[in-house]
A and B are shown apart, each in its own frame.
Chain A
Amino acid sequence: MNLASPFSISLVVITALALLGLPIGLAMLCGSILYLFMAGLDMGTVAEQFLNGMYSNYVILAVPLFILAAEIMNSGSMTERLLRFCNVLVGRFRGGLAQVNIVQSIIFAGMSGSAIADAAGSGRMMQNMMTREGRYTPSYAAALTAVTAVVGPIIPPSIPLVLYALVSDASIGYLFLAGVMPGLLMSVLQMGQVAWTARRNNFPVEEAVPLREIPRITWRAFPALMMPVILLGCIYTGVTTPTEAAALAAFYALVISVGLYRSLSAKEAYNALLISTKTSASIGMLIAGSLVFNYVVTIENIPNTLRMLLIDWELTPIQFLIMVNVVLLLLGCVLEGTAILLIIVPVFVPTAQALGIDLVHFGVVVVVNIMLGLVTPPYGLLLFIMTNISGAPVKDIIRDCMPFLFWMFVCLGLITFFPEIVLWLPRMAGYGA
C-alpha cells in the first residue's frame, strides 16, 4: 500500500489525534474528513454517513436504554440488595464477587445480544458493586466486566450471529444453539482464572451471613433477581423484541425502585437520567465515528484487495482457519467489530465453504474472534466503554485484562480445532441430520 495515499495518511492522523488525547469518536471524524478532502470527494459525506448510519441502526437504541436501566438500578437500592444476596451465594469464597460478575454475565448474555449493551448496562451495575468500599480496584473490576461482557453475544440471543447468518446464509436457529457451549466454556475458563488470582492476591472474602438472615435477604432481593427471568420471559413469549427489552428493563427497574423499594427520590431519578444521557452521548459519538470511518475503509476497497490476496494462496482448512483467526484478531485490534463482520467476513465465507468448513462452526469462530476484538488494545470498544464507566485509566484496564485474554485465546483455539464443541448442541437438535 502506498504510504503517501490519502488512506494511509488518514489512518496515521486518526491514530495520532487519538494518542494526543482527542476523544476517539472525534478523531475518527477528523481522519475521515481529511481522507475525503485529500481524495477529492464530497466532505458532506461525513454528515451523510454519520446521520444515515445512526438513522438505520435501530438495534443500537438498546444501548442508551440499558444504560438508563442500570442507572436506575444503581440509584435505587436494587444494587445493594443484589449485593447482599450475592454475599449469601458466593461471598464466602475468595474473590466471590468477581465470580458473581462472571455468573451475572452468563445470565445477562441470555437477555441481550450485544456485548456493548451488556457492559454499558449490567456492567455498570457490576462495576459499582465490585468497587464499593474498595473491594476491588476500579481497573480490575472494569477489566473483568469487559471480558465477561464478551460472552454476551456468544450465548444467544446474539446480534453478531444474526449479521453473520445474513452474510453467510447459515441457519440462525442453529447458529444460536452453536453459541451456547463456547460461551459457557469461556465463562468456565474465566472462573478458573479468577479463582487462581483470588488465592494469589488474597481477594476479599465477604463476611459470612448468619443462616437466619438468608431468607430475609433473599426475599428483599427477589424482585431484582426476577428481572432476568421477566426479561427473558418477555422476549421468549413475544411481548417485546430484544431491542425493546432494554426499555422494559428500565421500566421494571423504575417500577420496583419507586413502587416496591420506595428508594428513589425525584432528584436521584433525574440524576440517573442525566448520567445516562451523558454516557449515551459519548458512547454514541464513538459508534458514529466508526460508522463514518467505515465508509473510508469501504470506498478504499480494502475488502476486495484482501480477497485477491486469498485466491493466490492455496491453503488447507486448518491453515485457512488459523489465518482467519490471525487476520481477524489483528483487525479486531484496530477496527470496529460490526464493520469487520459486514466487510471482511463475507470475503472469507466462500473460501471457507469451498474448503468444506462447516459454516455454522465457522460463524461461531468468527463471532468469538470479533468479540475478542472488543477487548484487545489499542482499539477495543469494551475497553473504552469501561474506561468511561469506571474512570480507571485504559492502560490499567488493559493490564488487568491480560490473564483473561490468554484464556479467551485458549477458548478460541479449542473451538477452532475441535468443531464438536460448537456443533454438539446443534446436532442434538437435528443439525446436519
Chain B
Amino acid sequence: QDKTKIRFSAVFSEQDIRAEMMKKFADGIGDEFEFEGFYGGMLFKQGTELVALQRGNLEMGNIAPQDISNQVPEWSILTSAYLFRDAAHLQTFFDSELGEEMKKMAEDKLGVRVLGPTFFGTRQVGLKSDKKINTPADMAGIKLRMPGGDSWQFLGQALGANPTPMAYAEVYTGLQTGAIDGQDNPLPNVQNMKFYEVMSQIVMTSHLIGFDLLTISADTWNKLTPEQQEKVQTAANEAIAWSTEQHLKQEEELAASFKEKGLDIYTPDLDAFRAHAQKMYLESDLAKSWPEGLIDKINAL
C-alpha cells in the first residue's frame, strides 16, 4: 500500500522550535507516512493555509485561531485578550469537553480537524519610551503596532493604546525611527527580530497566550485507519507538549537576557488590564457571536 503523503505548511522558520516539534511529530507517526514540511510561509502565505487545507492542496497546517474565526465567528472568543491565563490553562481547555465542542465545530463547518494548540509564547507590550505603564490609562496615546485587521486593532484598543497596523518587516525600523512607540509580540519574536535593540522596556502585560492550531484536513484524517489516527494524535500530543515546555523555558531565559541587556522588565497591574479588556470585549460586536456563557466556563477551568 502507498504511504500517506502529508504536506505541512507553516509561517514559522525552519530554525524555530516548532519546526523541531514537527520533526518529532514526523518521527512519531513513523514510516507509514511521507511527511514534507514547508516553513517560512514558502508554500502558502500566512493566513492562506486554511483554504489550502479545505481545497485539498495541503494535508496539514499550523493555523492561527484568527483564521478559523474568519469563517466560524464563534471561534473569535478564543482570540480575545485575557482569556487564557497561561499555556497550561490553554492546554486544559483544549483537552476539556468545551474544547472538544469547539474542535467539533471547526471540523463540521470547515472540514479540518484540530490536533491541538501549539503555544508559541505570551504576547507582551514592548515600548521605546521609558514611561512606566501600570494601568490601561497609562497606555493612552501610545502608538502600538498591532498586526493588520480589525480584530487585532481592537485588541490594541482593549489594552488602552492607540493601535496602528504596520508590516511585520517594518516594525524594527518603525521603532528605531519613532513611527511607532511600541509593539506587542511574544519574547521569542522580540529576540528573532532584534526589537530589543530599539526598545527600552517590556511591560509584562501577558495579554494574549499566543497559540496556533496544528490541524489536519478532515479528508486526510478520515482516510486513515483508527490505528493510524491514534498514532497521529499521540505523536501530535507528544510533540506539542515538548514544544510548549521548550517555549516556556525560552521565555524565562529571554526575560533574564533582556534584563541583562538593560531593558526594564516589569509586571503592571494585571487586574486593571484584564478588567478593562474583558469589559471592552463583552461590550463589542465580537462578543455577540460567542457561545453563551463560554467565557465564564473557561475562566472556571
Footprint of B on A, CB under 8 Å? 41-42, 44-45, 48, 52-53, 55-56, 58-59, 157, 159, 162-163, 165-167, 169, 171-173, 235-243, 294-295, 298-299, 301, 342-343, 346, 349-350
Contacts and interface: CB of A to CB of B under 8 A. Distances in A.
The secondary structure that dominates the A interface is helix
Contacts of B192: 166, 169
B165 to A, nearest CB: 10
- Chain B contact-residue range equals 35 or more
The secondary structure that dominates the B interface is loop
Interface in B1-52: 7, 13-15, 36, 38, 40, 42-48, 51-52
Contacts of B48: 48, 52, 56
B190 to A, nearest CB: 12
Interface in B164-223: 166-167, 169-170, 172-174, 176-180, 192-194, 197-198
Given A169-B192, A238-B178, A42 B173 contact: no
B46 A172 contact: no
Contacts of B56: 42
Contact of B14 (A45, A235, A346): A346
Contacts of B36: 301
A298 B167 contact: no
A159 B198 CA distance: 18
A42 B55 contact: yes
Contacts of B38: 298-299
A147 B195 CA distance: 33
Interface of B: 7, 13-15, 36, 38, 40, 42-48, 51-52, 55-57, 166-167, 169-170, 172-174, 176-180, 192-194, 197-198
Given A41-B57, A342-B42, A172 B194 contact: yes
Contacts of B57: 41-42, 45, 48
Contact of A173 (B15, B46, B194): B194
22 contacts: A42-B57, A44-B55, A48-B48, A48-B51, A53-B45, A55-B45, A56-B47, A56-B48, A58-B167, A171-B197, A173-B194, A236-B177, A237-B177, A238-B178, A238-B179, A241-B166, A241-B170, A242-B173, A243-B170, A299-B43, A342-B42, A346-B15
B52 A48 contact: yes
B40 A172 contact: no
